[in-house]
Structure 1
Amino acid sequence: MTELNNLWLTETIRLREEHAGPLDDLEANRLARTAGGDLPTRIQHRALWLAERDGLTNALQHWLQGARLALIVMAVLAVISGAGLAFAALGDGQTPVNVFWALGSLLGLNLILLLSWALGLVFAGEHGATLGRVWLWLSEKLARDAKAAQLAPALLLLLQRQKLNRWALGLLVNGLWLLAMLSALVILLMLMATRRYGFVWETTILGGETFVAMTQALGALPALLGFSVPTVEMIRASGDAALNIESARQAWAAWLVGVLLVYGVFPRLLLAWFCRWRWKTGQARLHLDLNLPGYAQLRERLMPTSERLGISDAAPEHLHQIENGSSDLPSDGALLVAIELDDQRQWPPQLPKTVSNAGILDSRESRHKLLEQLSRFPPARLAIACDPRRSPDRGSLALIAELARGASATRVWLLPAPPGEALDAARLGDWHVALQQLELPFADSAPLNWLETGHD
C-alpha cells in the first residue's frame, strides 16, 4: 500500500462515518494506541484496520484495477481517434491534398481544446473534468464492487486540499491527446510512405501571398529541427495544381509532418510532463486535515489525556487523595476493571459468578460511563488491573484515584508481563512508590479471592 492509498482509505472511512454514523471501532482504537506515533499516524492505523475489516481495502484494489482498465480503454480510443485524423487529412490519394485543410483536420480540434484547457487551468483550475468524470465513472463500472462507489468522492476531496485535481486531470487529458497525436503522426508517415500524394492550397477570398506567409511562418520552428519548408515558387505553383515534382511532394510532406510534430506532439508532451511533475511534488505534501470534525473527535480516543508518553509537566506537591467509602449510598458486590490493556492479553480472566467485569477503559466515553455507574451503584470491592510496562503517569494515577473514590475498598492488580517478556524493575518500582503515596494496596497476583470473599 502506498502513502496515497493509506490517506485515501482514511478519507473514505471519515466520509462513511460522516454520512452513516460512527463505526464500531473499539478494537481499532486500541490497536492504534498500541502502535503509537502522532495523531495522524494513529488515525491512519485505525482507518486501515477498519477498512480491512469492512472490505474497503479489497474494494480499493478492485477500483484500481477498474481504473487501469478504463485508462486502457480510453488510450485505445485515443489511438484510434488519432489514426482517424490522419486518414481524414490525407484521404485515399486519388485527389490532391489541400494542405491547410489537412492541417486543420490534424491540429484544429487539438489546439482549440488545448487553449480551452489552459484557460480553464488559469481561471477555474478544474477544466478537463468531463474526461475525468468519464474515467471515474468507467473505473467504477469496471471495478464491479458496490463498496468502490465510496472511494471516488474520497479521492476527489483528498486531492482538492492540495489542488492536485487539476494536475491529475491535466496528466490524463494531455496524455490521451499525446497518444492521439503520436498515432496521427505514425499513420501519416505510413500513408506517405505507401501512397503518392500531391499537395495544393485553394482559396476564394485570400491572396496567394497570404498562403506564402502562413506556410513560411508555420514552418519556421520545424525548420530549426531540420524539416524542409517549400520554397516560395513551390508554394505559389501549388495554388494552381499539385506539382508532379518529387522534390515538391517531399517538401510539402516534410512541412506537414514537422508542423504536426512541433505544434501537435511537443506541446502535449511538455504539458503531460509538467502535470506529472506537479502531481508528484504535490502528492508528497498530501496529509490529513486534522481540523475536520471527523478527525478532531478522534483525538481524545486515540491520544487520551492519560496517554503514556512520559511526564511533561511539573510534579504536583500532593497526589490525589482518596476517601474510600465516603458515599452515602450502600455499596455491594465486587467489580474488576482494567485500564488500557493491549491486545496481547486475554481479557477478562475467568471470574467467580459474584464478580462483575467492567471491561477495559480505553476511551473517554468508557471512563465517564463507569464513573457514573460507580457514583450511583458503588461496589463494596473494586480491583483495578494495570499494565506495569507503562509508566505510572499522573493521568493514570488520577483515574485510579477517581475510580477508588467510588468503591468501599480498592486494590490495584499489577499484571504480569506476557509470555516471553520481562517487566522493567525500575518502572515496577515507580508503580509501587506511586501507589504507596496514594495509600492503595496493590498486588502482583490476581485478587480474585479477595473480590469474591472480601479476604485473602
Structure 2
Amino acid sequence: MEDLVTAPTPLDKRWLTEAVRLREEHAGPLEDQEANRHARQLGGDLATRIETRALFLAERDDMTGALRHWKQGARLALLALLLLAVLSGAGLGLAALGDGQRPVNVFWALGSLLGLNLLMLLGWAMGFALSGEHGAGLGRLWLWLSERFARDAKAAHLAPALLVLLQRQRLNRWLLGLLVHGLWLLAMLTALGMLLVLLATRRYGFVWETTLLAADPFIHLTQALGALPSLLGFAVPDEAMIRASGDSLPALDMARQAWASWLLGVVLVYGLLPRLLLAGLCLWRWRQGRERLTLDLGLPGYAQLREA
C-alpha cells in the first residue's frame, strides 16, 4: 500500500530523468554500467530505457528521496502563500468597510476591493499575450520557498529540471497561471466572506461624493456595474437611492440593503468569477499538457546514451 502512495508518477519519472541529465551535464557522467544493463534488460524504446536508467541512478543516489523532500517543501511554500492570500483578502474586506462609525464611500470601497486585483489581472493578460511570462515573479518566489523548506542538497537540480521540462511544451505558463489565479481567487473569496460577516453584524451607511463631477456619471456607472450582478439576483439601487446617497447619508434600511447587495454582487462578478474561470482554464490546460510531456531525445545528454 505504501508503494502505491509513494510510487513516482509519470511526471515524477520525467522530472527525475531531466534532473539526472542536468546533474551529468554539470558534474560529468555518472557510474552507470549497472543502470545501463538494468535498462537493457527491461527493454522498451529508447525513451523508456533512458527513463529506466535515470530512475535507477536516482534511486541509487537518493534523488528520489530528495524529490519527496522537495515536494514536501513545495506544499509548505504553497501553504504559506495560501495563508498570505487569506490574510490579504481579510485585510481588503476590513479596509473597504471600516468599523461602521463613518459612512462607506461606495466607489472608494470598490476601488480598494477590486483595484489591485484588476490591475494585476490586466498585467497577467498583457504578459500572457506578449511573452507568456505572467506570474514569473510569484513562481520564482514559490520555487525559492520550496527549496528553502526542502533543505536537501541533493535537490539542487530538481527545480531547474522542472522548469526545463515544463518550458518544453510551455506548460509553465499554465502552472504559474493556476498558482496566480488560485491565490487571487482565495483572496477575493476571503474578502467576500469578510464583507458578508461585516455587513451582517454591523450597520453601514453608503454614500458617494464628488466635488467636480455631476451626479449622472455616478448613476450610470452604478447601474452599468450592477447590470451583470442583477442577473444573479443581486439588487441595484434605483436612481432615487443613488441621488439621495450623493446628497446625504440615507436612513432607509432599503437603501442600505440595496447598496450592500450591489457591492457584494460587483465584487463577486468582477473580482471573484474571472479568477475562478481563469483558474479552471489553467487547470484544464495543465492536465492536458501534463499527459503529453515527453523527453527531448535530441538533447546532447540523451543522444550520447543511444549506443550505451
TM-score by length of 2: 0.97
For 1:244, give the aligned amino acid.
A
1:8 maps to what in 2? 15
Question: Superposition pairs for residues 16-95 of structure 1, below 5 Å?
Answer: 16-95=23-102
1:181 maps to what in 2? 188
Question: Superposition pairs for residues 385-396 of structure 1, below 5 Å?
Answer: none
2:103 maps to what in 1? 96
2:226 maps to what in 1? 219
1:245 maps to what in 2? 252
Question: Superposition pairs for residues 43-442 of structure 1, below 5 Å?
Answer: 43-301=50-308
Distance 2:18 2:170 in 1: 16
For 2:64, give the aligned amino acid.
T
Structure 2, gaps ≥5 residues long: 1-7
SS in structure 2 at match of 1:238: helix
Distance 1:197 1:103 in 2: 15
**Structure with the largest fraction of helix:** 2
Identical-residue share of aligned pairs (%): 71
Distance 1:188 1:121 in 2: 31
Residue 149 of structure 1 and its aligned partner are, at CA, apart by: 2.0
Distance 1:79 1:240 in 2: 36
Residue 204 of structure 1 and its aligned partner are, at CA, apart by: 1.4
Residue 55 of structure 1 and its aligned partner are, at CA, apart by: 1.2
For 2:24, give the aligned amino acid.
E
For 1:135, give the aligned amino acid.
W
Distance 1:176 1:169 in 2: 11
Distance 1:296 1:149 in 2: 24
For 2:74, give the aligned amino acid.
A
Structure 1 runs (4+) deviating above 4 angstroms are: none
> Quick one: higher RCO (CA 8 Å, sep 6+), 1 or 2?
2
Alpha-carbon deviations, 1:94-127, whole Å to 9, x = none?
A: 0000000000000000000001001101111011
Structure 1, gaps ≥5 residues long: 302-456
For 2:293, give the aligned amino acid.
L
Distance 1:242 1:284 in 2: 58
**Structure with the largest fraction of strand:** 1
For 1:131, give the aligned amino acid.
L
Distance 2:156 2:110 in 1: 43
Residue 178 of structure 1 and its aligned partner are, at CA, apart by: 0.1
SS in structure 2 at match of 1:300: coil
For 1:259, give the aligned amino acid.
V
TM-score by length of 1: 0.66
Distance 2:189 2:213 in 1: 32
Distance 2:171 2:135 in 1: 13
Residue 167 of structure 1 and its aligned partner are, at CA, apart by: 0.3
Residue 70 of structure 1 and its aligned partner are, at CA, apart by: 0.6
Structure 1 vs Structure 2 CA RMSD? 0.5
Distance 1:121 1:173 in 2: 12
Residue 241 of structure 1 and its aligned partner are, at CA, apart by: 1.6
SS in structure 1 at match of 2:226: helix
Residue 158 of structure 1 and its aligned partner are, at CA, apart by: 0.3
Distance 1:24 1:95 in 2: 73
SS in structure 2 at match of 1:239: helix
